Amino acid sequence: MAIRHTPEAAGAIASLLDSLPAQRRAALPGPQPIERADLDAALPPGAVHQGMALEVEPLADVTIDDLIVEWDGRADVLVVVLDQVTDPHNVGAVLRSAAAFGAAAVLMQDRHGPPVTGTLAKSASGALDVVPLVRVVNLARSLRDLQECGFWCTGLAEEGTADLGDVDLAGRCALVLGAEGSGLRRLTRDTCDALARLPTDPPIGSLNVSAAAAVALYQARLARRDRNALQSVKK
């Protein structure tokens, strides 16, 4: 681990480190001053920074098997599954909505998903630290793994036979969204338990994938709230 900063950021980083508990602060390396031009050169092209950078080892990958074990015994689990969504801005925005509406994870195919870069992390606005981003080799197989654990997999598609609001999104639920334009691939849509549509008005037939994910996650949040309220009344 290394902490590097420009001379102008020395005061800010000193204040940040002083705010940490003594034990945690002692475990960190001492900050290293560096000229802004050298810091710019050490970062990926176009990276935005505020005069400081932290170089760390990558976090350990989380697998779908890890999460299935973690979710054992939980009746309510909401996940988002992305089918070949390649734009890091969209993936980051989906992660942000997932964190805001209580999703437990975002799954995406490894070969057709963007790497976790500064662009994705910035779009996620901190959600990467809250919601696991899980890469899988075979998306259809992962959907079947979820189904075997009691998940109902609902794919969003313009040709869906029901409005999303009419689908039961409580309990163990996976919302499956495809890339803008191409939508869900055939095998992905065939593996879903149901296809639902967002009831948009003409001439707009569909939304950007991150906007659609936000709407769907909010709808799932409402479904959970309504079911919990009903259960409370019955008690």
Number of domains the chain is built from:
2
What whole-number percentage of the chain has pLDDT above 70? 96
Residue 78 pLDDT level (bands cut at 50, 70, 90): very high
d(CA 158, CA 11): 53
Cβ-based neighbours of 24, under 8 Å, separated by 6 or more: none
The answer to whether the beta carbons of residues 132 and 98 sit under 8 Å apart is no
Q: Is the pLDDT of residue 95 over 70?
A: yes
Of the two residues 100 and 29, the one the predictor is more confident about is: 100
Q: What's the average model confidence in pLDDT over 72-100? A: 94
Mark whether 175 and 213 lie in a shared domain.
Answer: yes
CATH label of the domain that carries residue 147: 3.40.1280.10
Q: pTM here?
A: 0.81
Say what the pLDDT of residue 116 is: 85
Q: Which of 185, 214, 154, 216 is nearest to 84 (CA)?
A: 185
Mark whether 78 and 106 lie in a shared domain.
Answer: yes
Mark whether 97 and 186 lie in a shared domain.
Answer: yes
pLDDT digits 0-9 by tens, 168-183: 898 999 999 998 777 8
Q: What's the average model confidence in pLDDT over 97-102? A: 95
Mark whether 12 and 111 lie in a shared domain.
Answer: no
SS3 233: helix
What whole-number percentage of the chain has pLDDT above 90? 51
